[in-house]
Structure 1
Amino acid sequence: MLDTYVNWLNGADPTQYDWMNVENNLLPVLYTFWLCEARPEWTDTCRSFLLEGQCKSFEYIKNSCDKGAYECMQRFTSYIMNSYIKLDGGIPFRHYYENILAATQPTLYVHCHMVTKISLAILDELYRQNPDLLLYVNGCETMEGVHASIDKTREFLFYCGMFHDAGKLYFLDTINLFARSLFNEEFDLIRLHPQMGYELLNKWDSTRPYAEAALYHHLWYDEKSGYPREYTYKGNDNAILYQILTCADCLNAATDSVGRAYSSGKNFADMLADLRCNAGRMFNPDLVQLFDSEQLQQQIETLITVDREQLYREVFGKNVSLVLQSV
């Protein structure tokens, strides 16, 4: 059986992205993943092909971004994510996720990048104005630890931003395929994405540290609304970081008329007014207060206008890079 999959993959054309060729390039690897999932004792026998298949499928997915293959690739998204097998010397799940995100939902890829940029701007202002609020974040029990670990905290928040919407990869890109608001049934499904993202990220060592970012980013500060409602910030040392994500997520989503095709997008002044109106309810008031800084206002406004437009041009152009920018 393994020989059949090896010959199938070797006969595939890695430069073509129609339905038939997507199947030929991905199904042999997926079938072998499923085989080893059902019969773990076969993993050693299949290891060489699994490593080769991981590398080939990784490159195939990465190179699909400018081939108009979004719809074809979307069909395989959940299969690839759920069937991934960790191998010594293999490709970490984190890198697979990054490729899949860009290949199947490029507007979501832009959104996640923007959430990281906005989150880091808020974190930097928080560190400048009120670093005491970072006490106990990521285990820092003293202010000396907070200062010594600020670069690690920035890196952690960066990847939290990149992975916060992982659960949306299970859904068709309805928001961007149709210029309309979601139906109630669609929104009910979308509301599942924090829990689904948490469960997905929690499976793998390379993404497990960021699983809570997916779980908490839609929970309101007062915990009286948002979702999922069964969780609480109480006792969570990283709560302030996940509340930063909530601010950044809303700032980008509400002002983006490209990534939210059914909306014209608010301007920054209107969104800033919404932040202030909802301080203490949806948003952490200590974070909203940071926006009294003209420097932060100017930085965020530049991010959601000039920088976001440039990022869209890069992602939908032919030379998009999938390598995450250094923090």
Structure 2
Amino acid sequence: MCIPSMPCEIFHRPARLSSGNSGKRLSIMLAAIVCTIACMAQPASPAHHYEFRKWFRTLAQNRVEYNRYNDSIFQIRDHDQWTRFLQVRARKNHEINLSNRLIIDSINHAVTVGEVLNDRSLYSEFIRAFTLDYLRAGKADPFNTLTLCDAMQRYSDHQPDSLRMDNWLHLWRGVAYFHIFSLDNDTTTLRTSYNHFRAVLGKESERFPAYKQCRVTALYNLSSFAWFNSKIMTVRQLRTNMRTMRLMLNDTTIHISPSLMARLKNKAERMDELLIRNVYLYDSTMMKSQEATWLMTKLVKSYKKKKNMDDEQYMNMLLMQVRLQQITAKEALDAYKSRYARNWNLIKGVRLNDEEFMDFIQQYYSILYLNDIADIPYREKRRTVKLLCGHIVTAFRNRHDDQHSTQFVKMLKTLVVYERITRYLKPEERVDFLEELIVTTDLPTYAHSVHVAEIATTIISAMVKKEPQLLVGYLGCQNARNVTRHKKLFVEYMRRAAEFHDLGKTIMVPVVNNDFRPLTDMERKIIQGHPRRGLRFLELDPRLAPFHDAILGHHKWYNGKGGYPADFDNTRSPYRLLIDILTLSDCLQAATERIGRNYKNPKTFNTVINEFRQEAGTRYNPQVVEFIDRHPELANRLRWLLTDGWLDIYYMIYKKYFANTDKQ
């Protein structure tokens, strides 16, 4: 998906904040924003108080700072430095969150003030700041883009038709909704994206002077094969859009940046190749066999005449040759091995931006496909899959996350359950692959789950030892003696349930942000769908089936009347008490979190326990709350886990996933 900014000769990139004075600069930013808001009520000219360029530059600079701290997690090898860094990172991210909250509130307030709405120069500044200092800088995540588009819409609605931004707003919203679709998989979201792009092509758009650039960019986005795969668009419509885009690119009056023009021309020139690769080879029923054969034969001949083919073209040629039975899958796989080895050696130690990452990771689908159908021993196929899984994890770890794109999330979700991977891995290896990818993309949420596991196993261990009668009837134990005898069974169940409870969140939180800025309503809605989304990963290992209710019900209230999902009745679950322990452990960790939830200050253990007592019987299981109250030694252990114990949690993660990364 392509999200352009307005054409302009001046382009300011935010300067990278140095590590030495970043805290001081953030404090200055916060103070300046607070002063700005305080001055809003003063009678002076609004131009002195609504400085959109400063606000948008600060948003972009905050993103740079935020990314710098997140990316550095994977660069530190010393344990003590790593744990100290996490503490500093939490403090910095908290400051950034506050700064962004103030800026977004200021922008939303500004577009409600009559003086601002009628100030033509401020309107121009808003447009330039949003497009040049924010969108073009590549620091805009899709949800914040929608929030700021709404603000611009209110501003634009007060302007004459000649100055309206309707076309650009449709374009930016179309891109934002497309990326959000990768997170929620809701066809309504994708349809909304499609409708915004289509609006750019309507006759109404021609009243905007720069409509040509909007139209050609919309056509570029509408030539994505996502529309075909989701049955929103036919192959004929795709071809029509691509041909129209190719014709428009010959119009010298269209002003497009050189980098964007290169991308558009590359796609237009490779139309036939993309149709074969993404339509016919994806679903051979969507094109006539005779037409596809003729087109593939023509393309292969043209490829062979080229002196230099990029990796994608070379792989596509091999796939077509296999389909035309000119070579075998094994021969194609062997032919690509040297290219892949060269690429891997070049890329394994490099920080990849979004485009580089997507270009590199895309090849795995083709390699794994050839490996799967090749006439080679199963043992060799399995060895190749395990090697490539390790490389995929490293590529994800080396991805530089600007968070304006969600395509990596889509890749993660697809690769984890990709049958050409899973059929060659043992069940426990599939789960390990998932966990490794989760750690590389969202360490705080993974650490939260591990921390919840420590809390939950501490509670269940004490319950088995002190009051086993509370657990009679669970996990097949029909009396207290059986419960005591099967302590390991209960502890292991709680550990695994806690580790898996947020699987549906770990594949979205890197973009559905919980610490960079305030959540939008759409983000909250998507997050509330995470219990159900997490269920799909249970298929990786049949032994995970008992955790279905724990994953689905850990946000339900004890009385079944609150929480989500609304259609799950936790009160009828055979794992009800175990789910209640998980729910309480989850809330206890989240409320006292001091590392990963930088949108709030952590509460004390005593404060949270008092809240549990007040809501016992409605939100929380009174048996569990009373059990903690009856056993002060358990309460003290929990208090330690939530204060000093988190260091051990992070050390365990560091030791497992990071200590030996230099050896990879």
TM-score normalized by structure 1?
0.83
Structure 2 residue identity aligned to 1:58: C
**Cα distance, 1:24 vs. partner?**
6.6
**Cα distance, 1:201 vs. partner?**
1.7
Closer/same/farther in 2, CA of residues 148 and 182 from structure 1, 3 Å limit:
same
Residues 431, 540 of structure 2: 8 Å contact kept: no
In 1, Cα distance between equivalents of 2:635 and 2:375: 55
**Cα distance, 1:252 vs. partner?**
0.5
In 2, Cα distance between equivalents of 1:304 and 1:211: 27
Closer/same/farther in 2, CA of residues 8 and 222 from structure 1, 3 Å limit:
farther
**Cα distance, 1:100 vs. partner?**
1.3
In 2, Cα distance between equivalents of 1:46 and 1:186: 46
Residues 74-133 of structure 1 deviation map (CA, whole Å, 9 limit, x = unaligned): 563212223254335546221112101211100011101100000011112222332112
* Secondary structure at 2:559 match in 1: coil
Q: Report 1:44-63 matches (<5 A).
A: 47=378, 50-63=381-394
Residues 352, 398 of structure 2: 8 Å contact kept: no
**Cα distance, 1:291 vs. partner?**
2.0
In 2, Cα distance between equivalents of 1:143 and 1:317: 38
Task: Select 1:299's aligned residue among 614, 637, 653.
Answer: 637
In 2, Cα distance between equivalents of 1:43 and 1:218: 46
Structure 2 residue identity aligned to 1:141: Q
Task: Select 2:414's aligned residue among 66, 70, 79.
Answer: 79
> What is aligned with 2:352?
18
> What is aligned with 1:187?
524
Structure 2 residue identity aligned to 1:86: T
Residues 155-210 of structure 1 deviation map (CA, whole Å, 9 limit, x = unaligned): 12111111110001331424656433311110000000000102322453253332
Residues 30, 79 of structure 1: 8 Å contact kept: no
In 1, Cα distance between equivalents of 2:656 and 2:356: 21
Gaps of 5+ in 2: 1-318, 320-328
> What is aligned with 2:647?
309
In 2, Cα distance between equivalents of 1:290 and 1:103: 37
Residues 446, 506 of structure 2: 8 Å contact kept: no
In 2, Cα distance between equivalents of 1:46 and 1:158: 38
Residues 206-249 of structure 1 deviation map (CA, whole Å, 9 limit, x = unaligned): 53332322111111100000111211234422211111110110
Closer/same/farther in 2, CA of residues 143 and 199 from structure 1, 3 Å limit:
same
In 1, Cα distance between equivalents of 2:429 and 2:568: 29
Report the aligned-residue RMSD: 3.2
Residues 396, 440 of structure 2: 8 Å contact kept: yes
Closer/same/farther in 2, CA of residues 50 and 9 from structure 1, 3 Å limit:
farther
> What is aligned with 2:86?
none
Structure 2 residue identity aligned to 1:18: L
Task: Select 2:562's aligned residue among 225, 249, 263.
Answer: 225
In 1, Cα distance between equivalents of 2:374 and 2:619: 47
Closer/same/farther in 2, CA of residues 30 and 145 from structure 1, 3 Å limit:
farther
Q: Which moved more, 1:8-17 or 1:133-142?
A: 8-17
* Secondary structure at 1:181 match in 2: coil
Q: Report 1:1-327 matches (<5 A).
A: 1=319, 2=329, 3-4=332-333, 6-11=337-342, 12-13=344-345, 14-19=348-353, 22-23=357-358, 26-32=361-367, 42=373, 47=378, 50-63=381-394, 67=398, 69=400, 74=409, 76-84=411-419, 85-87=421-423, 90=426, 92-174=429-511, 178-202=515-539, 204-292=541-629, 293-312=631-650, 315=653, 320=658
* Secondary structure at 2:590 match in 1: helix
In 1, Cα distance between equivalents of 2:402 and 2:444: 14
Residues 255, 266 of structure 1: 8 Å contact kept: yes
In 1, Cα distance between equivalents of 2:533 and 2:482: 33
Residues 17, 69 of structure 1: 8 Å contact kept: yes
> What is aligned with 1:325?
none
In 2, Cα distance between equivalents of 1:149 and 1:129: 14
**Cα distance, 1:32 vs. partner?**
4.9
Residues 92, 206 of structure 1: 8 Å contact kept: no
* Secondary structure at 1:265 match in 2: coil
Structure 1 residue identity aligned to 2:537: L
Structure 2 residue identity aligned to 1:272: I
Q: Which moved more, 1:139-148 or 1:191-200?
A: 139-148
Bigger helix share? 2
Structure 2 residue identity aligned to 1:82: V
Residues 175, 262 of structure 1: 8 Å contact kept: no
In 2, Cα distance between equivalents of 1:163 and 1:189: 18
Q: Which moved more, 1:277-286 or 1:134-143?
A: 134-143
Residues 252, 304 of structure 1: 8 Å contact kept: yes
Q: Which moved more, 1:256-265 or 1:218-227?
A: 256-265
Closer/same/farther in 2, CA of residues 319 and 224 from structure 1, 3 Å limit:
closer
**Cα distance, 1:310 vs. partner?**
4.2
Closer/same/farther in 2, CA of residues 177 and 194 from structure 1, 3 Å limit:
closer
In 2, Cα distance between equivalents of 1:321 and 1:208: 32
Closer/same/farther in 2, CA of residues 43 and 135 from structure 1, 3 Å limit:
farther
Structure 2 residue identity aligned to 1:294: P
In 1, Cα distance between equivalents of 2:387 and 2:520: 38
Greater relative contact order (Cα 8 A, min sep 6): structure 1 or 2? 1
**Cα distance, 1:66 vs. partner?**
6.9
Percentage of pairs with the same residue: 22
Structure 2 residue identity aligned to 1:220: W
Gaps of 5+ in 1: 323-327
In 2, Cα distance between equivalents of 1:48 and 1:143: 47
